[in-house]
Structure 1
Amino acid sequence: MSDVLQLTLASLRHQSRRFLAPGLAVVLGVAFIAATLVLTGTLQSSMRTSVAGHYAPYASVVTPKGDDADSPSLPAGIVDEVSEVDGVTSVDAVRESWTMASTPAGQRGALVTTGTSTHAPGVVEGRAARASDEVTLSTATASSFGSRVGDEVTFASGDDGSPVRAEVVGIVDVADHPVYGSGTPVVFTTAAGVTDLTGLTGWTEIDVRGGDEAATTRALRDALPLDADVASTTEASDDLVSRVTGGTDVLGVLLTAFAAIALFVSAIVIGNTFGILLARRARETALLRAVGSTRGQVVRSALVEALVVGLVFSAVGVLAGIGLASALVAAGNAWASNYFPTLVLDVPAKAVLLPVLAGVVVVVCAALRPVLRSSRVAPLAALRPDAAITARSRAGRLRVASGVVLIVLGGGALAAAAASHQVLPGVLGGFLSFAGVLLVGSVLVPWLVRLVGSVAARPFGPAGRLAVDNAVRNPARAAGTTAALLVGVTLVSMTAVGAATAKSALTEVIDAQYAVDVVVQGDDVTDAQTSRLAGVEGVAGDAAVETTTVRVTGAGERRDVQVAALPPGIDDVVRDPSAVTHPATDEVVLSEEQALEAGIASGDEVTVSGPRGRAELTVAVGQGMGAGWLVDPTVLRELDDSPTTGAVFLRLADDADVDRTVEGVQQVATQIEGSEVGGGAQVRQTHTETLDLALAIVLALLAISVVIAVVGIANTLSLSVIERTRESALLRALGLTRGQLRRMLAVEAVLLAVVGTLLGAVLGAGYAWVGVTALLGEFTDAPLVLPWSQLLAVGAGAVIAGLLASVLPARRAARVAPAAALAAD
């Protein structure tokens, strides 16, 4: 072992504490990657095991070829054809189709299926369905529907959606099924029941038992028509695994992207750490060079140091990631045992090797630049005080110029993305402009620190002024310290502002499409029933809509339709009054769907005949209200002098519990003949909850990057305290108290954190606006929405993070006696 290598290892042993902070950053990033790989591997492995068990008894699988909507199933007679093929011993035919169900919890989509005999779900309550008007529900579906054994569920059957009722006779457990156990709302019934409830008469899959898998598959392919797709069970298993785990693969990619962000932030922290350490050891390095060590030996020594740090902390990160994944798998099995197949922890080799490799590469690459820079300094120059790269140096001017160019190019791409509503230029512009901001940081960050410090540090007197000077003393170091936090805060702000703006835009679109929160339709709603609907907790306003049935003649056709007249106070009930089309006295208003179904267009003349009279009206296409064709109230009275209340529009209070309120409305509606409940409240809530959940998940994942950045601030401050030991001692000797020293370091940390947060919030809001405009600009012109509570929480978090980051360094600095520090070399 060479003397230089021995010296490197000795240095690592004696200075190991200084690598704890960057090591923690590596551990967090590597653990993130390891946990992601273990989780995706576990999900895929468990799914493959489940799928293999599902197809184990069979030799071949027959399904419809292609995705043609006109022929989504195999013909009914194909079962007999399959049974007669040589080598086939028996078949299990599956019939299943999607439909809508009216349940106690509202409208729900559901997969209605016969299931398969070899994977029959276990009955946990009641019994299996035996007749076409009986159904069994999975435990997850029963919970979603709000249904119990003995309840009735109404299904929309066939193309016309005619209602068909079925009784719930049992609850079954499908958690271990590879498809039905994925959380999909699933309803089991007989083959005739599937036809009655959905209108489907063919078969969607035929599972075939036979002898040799390959021979049976070949025989079926030769015997069956071209519109039937025949696959071996091995091929069918691979295809099903691919389809079922498609979401898992996407999840893995997304989690890996967040892990990459965490590692990028870690790289910034590590680069900063090595830069400070190497600058502090410049005299030591110069002495080694003076006594005969070559530049190559010095570089190799530092890189070996980085390699050891990367290996050790990456190994710890992998162990932490496996532990985290194990805990998540256990929690998932406990929480979702009724919804998904049981997961068995699987740690593939790549979950160990790739994270370690990523961690080592990140550490070595992050250390490479400061190592090479320090090795270029001549021994005699290194024995003098270090001259850091500044904006006035040649390298500094080049970095700033490059940053300005990237900002201009990125800004142009962002503007193009917003104008053309294209995402790709926006992504490119975001990367270029952010890289530019990082490059000009050595100029921008000190300027912002002085600007903010001139106000924020003033109340702290001399300690505040010293904190500002210390924070900007080394511009490159200040920029590097805030860069780590800048990455995390920019992404957090972008996500928060983007989600708030997207939520506003989607709400605007939903309010236009579903202008009414809840619509209750019935054959004849009485005043007492209307009052009970209005009295449901959570209902803030109501409007009774009068309707009548008329005969419409026009475009060569006659048809009976329901027409309605909107009451005078309708604008107080709808979410978006501008979306309501009020017909003139010579108009009838239809929605686009109603006009298409009737085969008429805007401007057509129709004759409307009612019980009392008739009217010649012009068709206008506008916003339908879900209560029929719209006419003016005076026209309705001309057509029928005693119309009935055919619908009641309800507006919910802004703070209403939507599900509970709709459930209360549905309970009242059961007393109304022919009642149906619809509206946009639950649609709006579903979109809002989805965005809120996505936002919470993304922010939680980005929080890891912010934590790493805070570790970086604390690390930089700790190393700076060590560098400034004699300076701090001199200040103490001149009268600076321990409290003032602590305040000085706290203000310094908070200034760096606040500047990184302010800059990140501005960049994040800008990127969010461009992103939302590029994605949704063609559909809505919703303005930028700034979630002030969340942004202020980020700001408050930055102040707290800065204070916490300064605690240990300040304590260490304050405990050193001035005389001892001045005596230190």
Structure 2
Amino acid sequence: MLKTTLRNLLAHRLRLALTAAAIIFGVAFVSGVLTLSNTLSEAFKKASATDYKDVSVDVRPTEDAERDRQVPALDDGLLGTLRGLPGVASVRATNTGYTAIVDRDGDRLGGRSNTNGTTFAPGPDGQDPKYRFTSGHGPRAAGEIAVDERAAKDAGFRVGDQVRVVANGPVLTSVLVGVFTTDDARYQVGGTITLFDRATAQELFSEPGRYDDIAVRAAPGTTEEAVLASVRPLVPSGAEAVTGAKLRADQAADIESGTKELTQALLVFAGIALFVGTFIIANTFTMLVAQRTREFALLRAIGATRRQITRAVLVEATVLGLVSGAIGFVLGIGLSEALRSLFNSMDAELPPGPVVIAPGAVVAALSVAVVVTVVAAWLPAHRAASIPPVAALRSDLPPTAKSLRVRNGIGAFLLAIGIVICYGVGRTKDKSTGDVFMIMGGGFVALVSVIMLVPLLSTPAIRFAGRPMSAAFGISGRLARENAVRNPRRTAATASALMIGLILVSTLSVFGASLKQELDRVALRGITADYGVSLIGEIPMDPAMAEAVARTPGVTEISQLRSANVRIGAAADDGFGGSGGSGDGTEVVSMDARTGLGLLRADFVKGGPEGFADGLLLGEKKAKDGGYEVGSRVPVTFPDGQRTTLVLSGIYEDDGLLGDAVMSNETLTPHLDRVVDTDILVRAAPGAARELRGNLEKALGDNPAVKIMSRDDYRKELGGIVDLLLNLLYGLLGMSIVIAVIGIVNTLAMSVFERTREIGMLRAIGMDRRRIRSMIRLESVMISVFGAVLGMALGLLIGVLGVNAAKGTSEMTPVVPWERMGLFLILAGLVGVLAAAWPARRAARMEVLGAIRTE
């Protein structure tokens, strides 16, 4: 039987080629994702391997201090004390923050997050061992900088040039005194590094006399634990001391976690592609079994058992899966590089490095290929085994009506369950995030039910929708319609592959359109300022920028926006959220008491702005969760630990702009160690709004890191982010659509082979080649449009119900992007035409007499 099975594979290699292509594309996606994950993980680990190799103990601010913008006393006094500890060989203190290098064209080098500035920290010999200078030397005074070799080359800078850099405020012009290379992980993963002298780095990134990191290196023979025991009693409030081993372990864990999350997200889309591929595989083997009915019956007649027949079909599937999986894995290596380029084009800043092929990825890819192929071929194999020997006298074994009745019954039952879940949750008034997942679960049940019901739906739907084509294309249209409904199972499997892709794409489109409308509403209604000024990447700004904005001609008023983590409500321990609930930290937005609420609108449901200057405003949900009403005295613990009670003067609608809580700058600022702005809102003088943008750009020194945005700019930027995410998701779903198209080509090609004698008879009685091609194309279009309409209908339903379910956590209302739906429908028709090109050409070129003689 094994020899017979292998010969059958070779005999049907052309019919299995397109099925192999579906497996190859699905496995290539899996392989590409796993290879990308391994490559990134290795690149990050290699880049960071040297980062902490000379660090025995690191003293740094705690996460709470960093979040609350508190600056612990990591000063020269502590630095001197640490240097004098026994067992300490050296101590290195630095400050680090965002710094962008401005090239000769006035543009920023690097991305948004991986452009860094830090301290040049020389030892007694005047050298900083972390940086190796290829020309010049490290900065020694204010007005001097050094940049990494790659940045200098990209910008065309040489030692002695005047270089502009941007940190957290106005553009700084400094003299380039050195160019260096380094093993710093930030540089190794493609970032830029700018070195400043100690005083300048402190002024830019912390406070004069304060550091944000002190690295201690142990003397030979001294353990990290011994140094930690000496350092820990000296650590000030708001800071912590950790061993180098813990730093390295934490960094490895972060790398593992980050790559794992990316891998899991991408594997979801790979799984969708493979799921779509199972329809193609099952359809192919079903058609092969039907075409080989006489062959299997003859094998049964000469003594083959049912188990041998089943095993023979599954062996074919296994070999097909192994060969396709191997090819798919090789293609996946190239796909991994394409994925990396895709993410880098979106400012993901993934590190460079050689492709890493792990044995686990090879095993996983081949295993997935074999398992998916064998599972998809299981039912066709079972049907092959059930063919009786007497069927050798017949050429076909049609499916029984009973099997369709059972399938339709199960499908109808599941559809009822899905409708009950979606309708029941949809009618709930107070919805939560869990309700959204319930809707998605109901939608999945409905999806499964529709897949089972597609054979039942296909015949009446295609008969009805095919009438215009029959009228327009005559005999070609009528034959195409009859061919499309001849085998409901085959049509269903082919249409379902495309349907699944369109369900996901349509659902995403509804969510995207609804989200864009909500963001438009928030931006246009909530922002009443003429312009907002901020730095890219939400980088905090030096208040000196607000002073420059306020002096700009055409500005009548401004408000600086700030934020901090404040504990609102009474907690069980010390007010810092130990018990959860209302005592947990809340991100508070603060603004100017006089002008803020005139530039950023709050829609009050209770109370109002009166008393805001020394009071508190809360979002509707935050007030409800804490049980507060207007006039309530709300306990507040500020970032510096001071406690007070503030009067709640107003409760506003939750809109995403103001967050959960708002207070005035006058109330919050005295409790911040480091005062920075997140945004500056600007009101223009009457008639001066158009000219004001240029005035602001000039006042801020043509800073390439500054964003000056009108309300319409905010709306477009938010909409652009949504479109970018949608296009990314569409792209990741594109593999599923490609596999669905392969399925249509495959089904039509095998159908043409199956109907060879029929096509020959049509040619013999006068049907010309043009009409034959037209018949195949129209059949393809009918199946494609049927699958697309069904997919879009279910996708729109799930999307609308999902948006309605999300109303408990957002103010979105469902929006159906009809223009995009129309485009999808047109594309589905084009897919049908393109998919039919080769099968139609093959059918039209059949030699008439040879086709009639075909068995």
Normalising to structure 1: TM-score of the pair? 0.77
Contact 2:514 2:803 in 1 (8 A): yes
- Map residues 512-661 of structure 1 onto 2, 5 A cutoff: 512-518=525-531, 530=554, 596=616, 647-648=683-684
1:196 aligned residue (176, 188, 203)? 203
Question: Residues 221-276 of structure 1: CA distance to partner in whole angstroms, max 9, x if unpaired?
Answer: 32233666554434322312332454332221121111111111111101100000
Which residue of structure 1 lines up, in the alignment, with residue 696 of structure 2? 666
Which residue of structure 1 lines up, in the alignment, with residue 230 of structure 2? 223
Which residue of structure 2 lines up, in the alignment, with residue 638 of structure 1? none
2:319 aligned residue (300, 304, 308)? 308
Which residue of structure 2 lines up, in the alignment, with residue 380 of structure 1? 390
CA distance in 1, matches of 2:723, 2:348: 25
Deviation at 1:648, TM superposition (A): 0.3
Which residue of structure 1 lines up, in the alignment, with residue 2 of structure 2? 5
Which residue of structure 2 lines up, in the alignment, with residue 455 of structure 1? 468
Q: Which amino acid counterpart does residue 91 of structure 1 have in structure 2? A: V
Deviation at 1:304, TM superposition (A): 0.8
Q: Which amino acid counterpart does residue 453 of structure 2 have in structure 1? A: V
Q: SS at 2:91's partner residue?
A: strand
1:267 aligned residue (265, 278, 293)? 278
Q: SS at 1:92's partner residue?
A: strand
Question: Residues 96-123 of structure 1: CA distance to partner in whole angstroms, max 9, x if unpaired?
Answer: 46799999999x9986643766675678
2:518 aligned residue (505, 529, 540)? 505
Q: State yes or no: 1:718 paired with 2:749.
A: yes
Deviation at 1:369, TM superposition (A): 1.1
- Map residues 20-31 of structure 1 onto 2, 5 A cutoff: 20-31=17-28
Q: State yes or no: 1:485 paired with 2:495.
A: no
Cα RMSD of the aligned pairs, angstroms, is 4.8
CA distance in 2, matches of 1:336, 1:622: 35
Q: Which amino acid counterpart does residue 232 of structure 2 have in structure 1? A: P
Query: Could you tell me the percent identity over the aligned residues?
Result: 30
Q: State yes or no: 1:798 paired with 2:828.
A: yes
Which residue of structure 2 lines up, in the alignment, with residue 734 of structure 1? 765
With over 3 angstroms needed to count, the CA separation of the structure-2 counterparts of 1:261 and 1:60, relative to structure 1, is: same
Deviation at 1:153, TM superposition (A): 5.1
Contact 1:669 1:677 in 2 (8 A): no
Which residue of structure 2 lines up, in the alignment, with residue 343 of structure 1? 353
- Map residues 408-447 of structure 1 onto 2, 5 A cutoff: 408-415=416-423, 418=426, 419=428, 420-422=431-433, 423-447=436-460
CA distance in 2, matches of 1:777, 1:258: 28
Deviation at 1:716, TM superposition (A): 0.6
- Map residues 241-390 of structure 1 onto 2, 5 A cutoff: 241-244=252-255, 246-326=257-337, 341-381=351-391, 383-384=393-394, 386-389=396-399
Deviation at 1:184, TM superposition (A): 7.4
Which residue of structure 1 lines up, in the alignment, with residue 52 of structure 2? 55
CA distance in 1, matches of 2:181, 2:421: 50
With over 3 angstroms needed to count, the CA separation of the structure-2 counterparts of 1:333 and 1:713, relative to structure 1, is: closer
Which residue of structure 2 lines up, in the alignment, with residue 75 of structure 1? 74
Which residue of structure 1 lines up, in the alignment, with residue 854 of structure 2? 824
CA distance in 1, matches of 2:458, 2:167: 64
CA distance in 2, matches of 1:793, 1:178: 46
Q: State yes or no: 1:43 paired with 2:40.
A: yes
CA distance in 1, matches of 2:10, 2:71: 69
Q: SS at 2:320's partner residue?
A: helix
2:790 aligned residue (749, 759, 766)? 759
CA distance in 1, matches of 2:296, 2:150: 66
Contact 1:278 1:370 in 2 (8 A): yes
Deviates more, 1:54-63 or 1:125-134: 125-134
CA distance in 1, matches of 2:165, 2:337: 42
Q: Which amino acid counterpart does residue 484 of structure 1 have in structure 2? A: A
CA distance in 2, matches of 1:502, 1:246: 29
With over 3 angstroms needed to count, the CA separation of the structure-2 counterparts of 1:140 and 1:705, relative to structure 1, is: farther
Contact 1:314 1:360 in 2 (8 A): yes
Which residue of structure 2 lines up, in the alignment, with residue 812 of structure 1? 842
CA distance in 2, matches of 1:116, 1:280: 78
Deviation at 1:53, TM superposition (A): 2.0
Deviation at 1:732, TM superposition (A): 2.2
Contact 1:509 1:780 in 2 (8 A): no
Deviation at 1:546, TM superposition (A): 7.6
Deviation at 1:385, TM superposition (A): 5.3
Contact 1:59 1:211 in 2 (8 A): no
Q: State yes or no: 1:769 paired with 2:776.
A: no
2:218 aligned residue (203, 207, 210)? 210
Count of aligned residue pairs for this structure pair = 732
Q: Which amino acid counterpart does residue 357 of structure 2 have in structure 1? A: V
Q: SS at 1:457's partner residue?
A: helix
Deviation at 1:679, TM superposition (A): 5.2
Gaps of 5+ in 1: 157-163, 531-543, 549-559, 605-618, 630-645
CA distance in 2, matches of 1:90, 1:688: 51
Which residue of structure 2 lines up, in the alignment, with residue 551 of structure 1? none
Gaps of 5+ in 2: 123-127, 534-545, 560-590, 619-628, 633-648, 666-681
With over 3 angstroms needed to count, the CA separation of the structure-2 counterparts of 1:417 and 1:126, relative to structure 1, is: farther
Deviation at 1:182, TM superposition (A): 5.7
CA distance in 2, matches of 1:649, 1:172: 47
Question: Residues 40-59 of structure 1: CA distance to partner in whole angstroms, max 9, x if unpaired?
Answer: 11111011111112223334
Which residue of structure 2 lines up, in the alignment, with residue 84 of structure 1? 84
CA distance in 2, matches of 1:780, 1:479: 38
Normalising to structure 2: TM-score of the pair? 0.74
Question: Residues 609-659 of structure 1: CA distance to partner in whole angstroms, max 9, x if unpaired?
Answer: xxxxxxxxxx98889999x99xxxxxxxxxxxxxxxx94079999xx9xxx
Contact 1:310 1:363 in 2 (8 A): yes
CA distance in 2, matches of 1:749, 1:652: 60
Contact 1:121 1:174 in 2 (8 A): yes
Q: SS at 2:51's partner residue?
A: helix
Question: Residues 469-514 of structure 1: CA distance to partner in whole angstroms, max 9, x if unpaired?
Answer: 1101111111101111111122222223322222222222233332
